[in-house]
Amino acid sequence: MKMKKAVTFLTVLFASIFLLAACGGEDSGGNGTSSGNTKSIKFMHLWPEGSSAQHHKVVNEIITDFEAENDGITIDLEVLSNEQYKDKIKVLSTSNELPDVGMTWAAGYMEPYVNGNMFAAVDDIIESDLSDSFVPGTAEAFSIDDTAYGLPLELNISTIFYNKAIFDEYSLEEPQTIEELHEIVDTLNENGVNPIALGNRDAWTGSMWYMYLADRFAGEEDVLTQAINREVSFEDPALVQAAQEIQKLVESGSFVQGFNGLADEEAKSMFMGEQAAMYLIATWDLPNFTTNEDVPQEFRDSVGYFKFPTVDGSGDSNSYVGGPGVGLFVSENSDVKEEAKAFASYFVQQWGEKAVTEVGIIPATKVDADSLDLPQMYVDVLNDLNEATNITLYADVQMSASAAQVHLDMIQALFGGDVTPEGFAKTHEDTLSAEE
Amino acid sequence: MNKVMSNKWIIILYTFPALLLIAVLIVIPLILSGYFGLMDWDGIGAMEFIGLDNYIAALQDTKFWDSTLHSFLLALFSACSLIGYLAVALILASKIKGASLLRKIYLIPMLLSSVAIAQLWIKVYNPSNGMLNSILLGLGIDNPPAWLADPNIVLYAIFVPIIWQYAGFYILIYYAALKNIPESLIEAAKIDGATPLQIALKIKIPLIMNVFKVTIVLSIVGSLKYFDLIYVMTGGGPNGASEVMASYMYKLAFSSYNFGYGSAIGFLLLIITLIVTVIIRKLTVSKDEIQY
């Protein structure tokens, strides 16, 4: 009899656990919940407080203002650092749980999302709220088949930043040609100073070196972009020469020891800790060299930059590697799409001027630079940008995701001496032609 | 009791919750990944059925075989390190002073998350500022290797923290097993004049052989599907030198947007692990149970 009671008891217990579990499942499901009068917009960005203090602060200001102006709407924020962000967005998209508003990169990166109907078209926002406010070319980079799916926030060009104090100590001057850069490297190596910080575990940093050399060797034409678009072969002499030059730079000890195992953040901290003299990075890091109060004033004062040198008299130093950085997307499947679009539009409008004055980066929206009080380095970069003859979009953004992965692996192999320059070009050619 | 357990409906009722969990969390995803492996799919857009193409491509993919080799190397290293864990457990169980404190210390890595361990070891291995190279330089070694950048070293450099990470787990298992051996057996051996080494090799180890066999399976299967430290410390680089099966699968599915191919690799990983498990079980099956 006792046994029977126990059985009944257990049966009831199981049944109730199931009921509870079923109830618990009801109200989960993270994207865009609207309950009663308050609506919540889920927003993800990639500027954590630790590594991008100014960005983080400005985003929070914009969110606070938006919430104050729009009663009953709250922004549900999630912040991840760059690489984690990329991973998470991908995982969320496979389970159809993208945030209502989030960040995306241009061109090849966003293509699968657009083809998969994940991003909402934002032409209506651009036409109504933001007409004529973007720098030409930036909004286009976020368009596929003439429909815009992203609102660009940044415009970056990459330059070589250097430590003036170290350069002064060894009486070095900004190099104009790659030969002069080699001489600087030799002098620094003789004196036991690390010449160039490079974190090639994040191979897109090594890719920027390669892209610049390819651009310089090619001269007038943007051969790299043409090769990616399949107008010319990747085995073009300029692209092979650029790969050879990379290995020359590696052999002469230009880059810090073990660069293939270092992350970009580690390389950056070497440059900012004055352990390396030079560092090629895009202008998104300008705040660290100008306005970021967490970086010692002494270091910020000693940072200068120069344009990537020319090679053998070939190439134009006003041609840059760069392009629009991140932009905002609105999720197609959002429950609060209208509110999300309003927020994205508000964000872009507020971002432009705040990005200049408070963050110190170049926004993709037009800004009247003369009316603002800006750090000198920022003014210089803006002037350079006005004189730019060409901006080549980052290769790993231009390519499809799987070709980009091959490209990044090959960059590591090239820098590590695991592949010949010819083999490097051939692997690219094979990969790109297989995708046609 | 027998009356209750002979009722089939009750048996089904009581096993149902566990079965449901296993089905939803393990069996269905497994079948799905095998199914996605038949598709050409970027993970977002429309799927296209392409039959066994992904599986055939995987079998011809040198990168896949390289990563498989790396996974098996890890399995070999983990299995060998079990002997070391066992030695430590034997010493700990032989009533030395401070054994309980040491046991807790060995357990610490198990309490840390993999990402924290990875960050810690990235700092240790840093070529210019890392602890390891600072010590080597201090010892007068001029050109210490760049541990995570050298394609010939990187794999072994990552094995060290992996083996360190799991030390506590296996030592704990062995320790518990050793403590289970009746004291009377040891006493008898001592009276017969056995040395401590003889006691360890001829009495203790044979008595916990079943546990040892289970840990061999655990460590090899765990190694074959290992992912976390490798993903955080090198991402499989440089140029695939530290890629293992699981990280290669992840890279294909989530970085290259080749979800179909990634799923196919995942399914192959399952099949390989299954085959290996069956082989090990066959090799280590015991003919006669030892009774105390």
Enter the tokens of residue A113: 């999302």
Q: What is the pLDDT along chain B (292 residues), one digit of tens a residue?
A: 566 667 888 888 889 999 999 999 989 988 988 898 898 888 777 788 888 889 999 999 999 999 999 999 999 999 999 999 999 999 988 878 888 888 888 888 888 999 999 999 999 999 888 899 999 999 988 888 889 989 999 999 999 999 999 999 999 999 999 999 998 988 999 899 888 888 888 889 988 998 999 999 999 999 998 999 999 999 887 888 999 999 999 998 888 888 899 999 999 999 999 999 999 888 877 666 655 5
The residue of chain B with its CA nearest to that of A269 is B129
Residue A177 and residue B7: Cα distance in Å, rounded? 87
pLDDT of residue B103: 86
**Closest among A411, A431, A399 to A224, alpha carbons compared:** A399
Nearest residue on chain A to B17, alpha-carbon basis: A14
CATH of A34-154+325-367, one of 2.60.40.1180, 3.40.50.1000, 3.10.129.10, 3.40.190.10: 3.40.190.10
- Beta-carbon separation of B128 and A257 below 8 A: yes
The complex's ipTM works out to 0.81
Chain B residue with Cα closest to A2: B1
Tens of pLDDT along B153-193? 999 999 999 999 999 999 999 999 999 999 898 899 989 98
- Count Cβ atoms below 10 Å from residue A209 Cβ, excluding itself: 27
Chain A hits for B239, CB-CB cut-off 8 Å, are 409-410, 412-413, 416, 418-419
Is B1 in Cβ contact with A257 (below 8 Å)? no
Over residues A33-48, the mean pLDDT reads 76
Mean pLDDT of chain A: 85
Q: Per-residue pLDDT for A307 more than 90?
A: yes
Residue closest to A255 by CA, chosen among A273, A218, A280: A280
CA B39, CA B52: separation in Å to the nearest integer?
Answer: 9
Question: Could you give the angle at the alpha carbon of B104 between the alpha carbons of B102 and B108, nearest 5°?
Answer: 115
Whether residue A29 has pLDDT greater than 50? no
Residues 6+ apart with CB under 8 A from B48: B39, B40, B41
For position A3, what pLDDT does the model report? Answer: 57
Domain annotation for chain B: domains and CATH numbers: 62-284 (1.10.3720.10)
Q: How far is A165 from A172, CA to CA, in rounded Å?
A: 10
A257-286 pLDDT, tens digit per residue, is 999 999 999 999 999 999 999 999 998 888
Q: Given B45, B127, B234, which is nearest A115 (Cβ)?
A: B45
Amino acid at B10: I
CB contact under 8 A, A409 and B44: no
If contacts are CB pairs under 8 Å, which of residues 24-53 in chain B contact chain A?
42-46
Class of domain A156-322+390-435: alpha beta
B129 contact residues in A (CB cutoff 8 A)? 275
C-alpha angle with apex B19: B15 to B24, nearest 5 degrees? 155
Pairing of strands A143-144, A151-152: unpaired
Overall pTM surpassing 0.95 (yes/no): no
Q: Do B149 and A261 touch (CB under 8 A)?
A: yes
pLDDT of A424: 96
Closest chain B residue to A93, measured at CA: B44
pLDDT tens per residue across span A103-150: 998 887 888 888 888 898 888 888 777 777 777 667 778 888 888 898
Pick B42's closest partner by Cβ from A18, A112, A418. Answer: A112
Of B4, B14, B238, Cβ closest to residue A3: B4
Domains A34-154+325-367 and A156-322+390-435 share a fold: yes
Residue among B6, B44, B126, B252 with most chain A CBs within 10 A, to mutate: B44
**Cβ atoms A49, A85 nearer than 8 A:** no
Within 8 A of B147 by CB-CB distance, chain A residues are 258, 261
Nearest to A206 by CA among A268, A275, A281, A257: A281
Interface contact B234, partner A, CB < 8 A: yes
Q: Tell me the domain boundaries of chain A.
A: 34-154+325-367, 156-322+390-435
Please tell me if residue B259 touches chain A, with a CB cutoff of 8 Å.
yes
3-state per-residue secondary structure call for A179-217: HHHHHHHHHHHHCCCEEEECCCCCCHHHHHHHHHHHHHH
Partners of B42 on chain A (C-beta within 8 Å) are 112, 115-116, 401
